[in-house]
Amino acid sequence: MKTTGEAVVYTLVIAAVIVFCRAFPFLFFMTKKDEISPKRMEREKAFISFVEKTVPPAAMTVLAFNSITMPFKESCREGLVVLTASILTALVHLLRRNTLLSIFGGTAAYFALEKLLMR
Q: What span, in angstroms and rounded, lies between the C-alpha atoms of 67 and 73? A: 11
| Phi-psi label, residue 30: left if phi above 0, alpha if psi -120 to 50, beta otherwise | beta
pTM for this entry: 0.56
d(CA 93, CA 84): 14
Query: How do the pLDDT tens digits run along the chain, 119 residues long?
Result: 678 999 999 999 999 999 998 888 887 777 666 667 778 778 888 988 999 999 989 998 998 888 888 888 888 888 999 999 999 999 999 999 999 999 999 999 999 999 998 77
